[in-house]
Amino acid sequence: MAALSGNLLLVAFFLYLAATIAFAVSLTGKKWRNKEGEMKGNRWGLFGFIFSIGAFLFAMGYFVTRWIVAGHAPVSNMFEYMTFLGIAMGFAFIIIFAIYRTNVLGLFTMPIVMLIIAYASMFPREVAPLIPALQSYWLKIHVTTVALGQGILSIGFAAGLVYLIRTIDFTKSNKQTKALECIMYCLLSLVGFILIVSSFKGMGYEATFSYINEQEAAAEMTYHLPAIVGPHQGELLTEGVMKPLFHMPAFIISDDLNTVIWSLLSGLILYGLLRLILRKRIGAAIQPILKGISPQSVDEVSYRAIAIGFPVFTLGGLIFAMIWAQIAWTRFWGWDPKEVWALITFLFYAAYLHLRLSRGWHGEKSAWLCVIGFAIIMFNLVFVNLVIAGLHSYA
């Protein structure tokens, strides 16, 4: 059953790839004339939509079979949660596309879904029993609702990114073009993470440290990438491997910080190579594909996605979370790092809706807020989850 679950997810990944290709062809392929002689778009957008539905169904097959194997909702570690986030984003895309029929949204959303699932696959996939605090039906209620909310909010990011690439003047070097290139670099860092972890995993790289943990107790930690930063008061036990350049304080989960640093470095290399090949900014290379896209349409899509996703995230990330915190830890709120960033995410999107509805922040301002909101979500998922020790840290 575990093998079946993994195979279903693999099929879903390749169907998302097929959807990406179909949506790309729908924007770059030839148009056709109907019987009246009017120019119409090609049918590849419909094929992309069908592929995305198939991918979602196979992904849900993975989710159900893994649930059967684990005996609990498969959202209890980094692999399971990030995979479910990708599934939730794919589901949100299906709903939004069925309403707006915007092919360009598929071209930007499907690769992000693939990146999230590929990113998740870099973490340990073993099914493990739940710790006592997680043995509650609130696991599936709270976590799945949060993931669904974040998935819908991510569609707002994809639409906002389309708007910015479509409208920004890349012939000028200013804050907007530099910020947009920074976004491209961050996405390439996810690709770099996948490549660098896969490479060293294939080589079987390991480096074990003894160190003093946050509870001032002796422990051991194994790195799977060469150590740029080492654990608190760490001593390298493995011979013939790279010694760390720096040592982190106890509240930093150093092996995950080390992975983040490697991801940023590999992303920098990938970005530099692409700039050399394209001889222009990455956003400028993508922009010609979007010439036929209406900025007003994608602006409306980004707003609608956030208007739907915000109450779902609020329900799961704050209300359900506080109820479960009271049950598990006998307090509604404890200023744990993850709780703080969930509150920051809530306040940010609340401010977005206020500025959009009351101050008329449409167009470029709104699109930048969509992008910043997604950056906050990813910082919470990647940095806060992995690097900062806390009650919500994923192993």
Per-residue pLDDT tens digits for 217-253: 888 888 889 999 888 888 888 888 888 888 888 777 6
Q: Can you list the positions of beta strands (E) in 4-95?
A: 32-33, 39-40
Tally of CA atoms within 13 A in the half-sphere of 267 that contains its CB: 19
- 330 touches 355 (CB < 8 A): no
Single residue among 231, 258, 279 that ends a domain in this structure: 279
Query: Looking at the 3D structure of the chain, how many domains does it have?
Result: 2
- Residue 37 has what pLDDT? 43
- Which is more confidently placed, 250 or 368? 368
**Residue written as tokens 């640093």?**
261
CA angle 264, 266, 267 (to 5 degrees): 60
- 94 touches 53 (CB < 8 A): yes
Domain membership of residue 9 (yes or no) is: no
What pLDDT, in 10s, does the model give residues 295-343?
A: 899 999 999 999 999 999 999 888 888 887 787 777 777 777 778 888 9
Kindly indicate the confidence band of residue 211, based on its pLDDT and cuts at 50, 70 and 90. confident
State mean pLDDT over 243-268: 84
Alpha helices in 240-281 (DSSP H): 254-278
State yes or no: pLDDT of 393 exceeds 90: no
d(CA 196, CA 293): 35
The answer on 285 and 166 residing in a single domain is yes
What pLDDT, in 10s, does the model give residues 150-172?
A: 999 999 999 999 999 999 988 88
What pLDDT, in 10s, does the model give residues 85-98?
A: 999 999 999 999 99
d(CA 381, CA 375): 10
Kindly indicate the confidence band of residue 32, based on its pLDDT and cuts at 50, 70 and 90. very low
- Residue 83 has what pLDDT? 93
Kindly indicate the confidence band of residue 345, based on its pLDDT and cuts at 50, 70 and 90. very high
The answer on 297 and 152 residing in a single domain is yes
Residue 252, phi then psi, degrees to nearest 5? -100, 130
- Residue 134 has what pLDDT? 66
Domain membership of residue 51 (yes or no) is: no
**Residue written as tokens 């479509």?**
166
The answer on 307 and 164 residing in a single domain is yes
State yes or no: pLDDT of 33 exceeds 50: no
The answer on 380 and 294 residing in a single domain is yes
- Which is more confidently placed, 136 or 60? 60
Q: To 10 degrees, the CA torsion angle through 347, 348, 353, 359? A: 110
**3-class state of residue 230 by DSSP:** strand
**Residue written as tokens 């974040």?**
150
- Residue 133 has what pLDDT? 62
The DSSP code for 239 is: T
The answer on 311 and 215 residing in a single domain is no
The DSSP bridge partners found for residue 207 are: 223
- Which is more confidently placed, 332 or 17? 17
Single residue among 219, 246, 279 that ends a domain in this structure: 279
Single residue among 257, 279, 301 that ends a domain in this structure: 279
What pLDDT, in 10s, does the model give residues 95-112?
A: 999 988 888 889 999 999
